[in-house]
């Protein structure tokens, strides 16, 4: 995983580690898309988005402001996304269900001809709404993420 060496610092707490994971996977996912590794890029962006969702609800300052019900399961990413939409944190324009279906397809199919521009714009919009973006990728980590360029 690209976060190795970046999130394992003992001075980072779990909340900060998942935040860094989201940012690192955004960078890696975008790079993979640019390289034509569309399926792998989509799956990596899925991890980035889910890390961002989990970071947001793990933060006590954020959690206090959420509109939740007693049956909400904060481990289920679909429910977390719904909570964040319900709470006005994320605009409802991004179709998380459709994105999940796209990820499922990407896991089993070569999607090298898929036009990912709208999907990426939607994810970047959600990441911005969550406060994970924008950031300076050059300050985040060097280009060497510790993984092979062939991954």
Per domain, the residue ranges of the chain are 14-140
State the Cα–Cα distance between residues 128 and 26, nearest whole angstrom. 12
| Burial group, residue 89, by CB count within 10 angstroms (0-12, 13-18, 19+) | buried
**pLDDT value at residue 13:** 84
Q: For 149, list phi and psi in degrees, rounded to 5.
A: -65, -15
Integer angstrom CA distances of residue 67 from 82, 83, 87: 10, 7, 5
CB-CB neighbours of 23 under 10 Å? 23
- DSSP single-letter state for residue 144: -
**pLDDT value at residue 141:** 55
Rounded to the nearest angstrom, the gap between the alpha carbon of residue 118 and the centroid of all alpha carbons in its chain is: 16
pLDDT of the chain, 151 residues: tens digit per residue: 444 444 454 444 888 889 889 999 999 999 999 999 999 999 999 999 999 999 999 988 888 899 988 888 898 999 999 999 999 999 999 999 999 999 999 999 989 999 999 999 999 999 999 998 876 666 655 443 444 444 4
Integer angstrom CA distances of residue 108 from 39, 103, 139: 9, 9, 34
Phi-psi category of residue 115: left, alpha or beta, with phi > 0 → left and psi -120 to 50 → alpha: beta
**pLDDT value at residue 49:** 97
**pLDDT value at residue 63:** 87
**Is 0.85 topped by the overall pTM?**
no
């Amino acid at each position: 995983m690209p976060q190795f060496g970046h999130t394992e610092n003992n001075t980072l707490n779990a909340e900060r580690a998942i935040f860094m994971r989201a940012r690192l996977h955004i960078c890696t996912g975008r790079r993979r898309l640019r390289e034509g590794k569309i399926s792998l890029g989509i799956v990596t962006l899925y991890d980035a988005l889910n890390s961002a969702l989990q970071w947001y609800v793990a933060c006590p300052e954020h959690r206090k402001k959420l509109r939740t019900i007693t049956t909400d399961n904060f481990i289920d990413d679909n429910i977390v996304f719904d909570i964040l939409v319900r709470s006005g944190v994320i605009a409802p324009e991004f179709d998380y269900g459709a994105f999940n279906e796209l990820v499922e397809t990407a896991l089993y199919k070569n999607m090298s001809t898929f036009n990912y521009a709208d999907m990426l714009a939607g994810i970047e919009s959600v990441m911005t709404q969550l406060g994970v973006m924008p950031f300076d990728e050059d300050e985040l980590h060097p280009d060497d993420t510790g993984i092979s360029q062939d991954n």
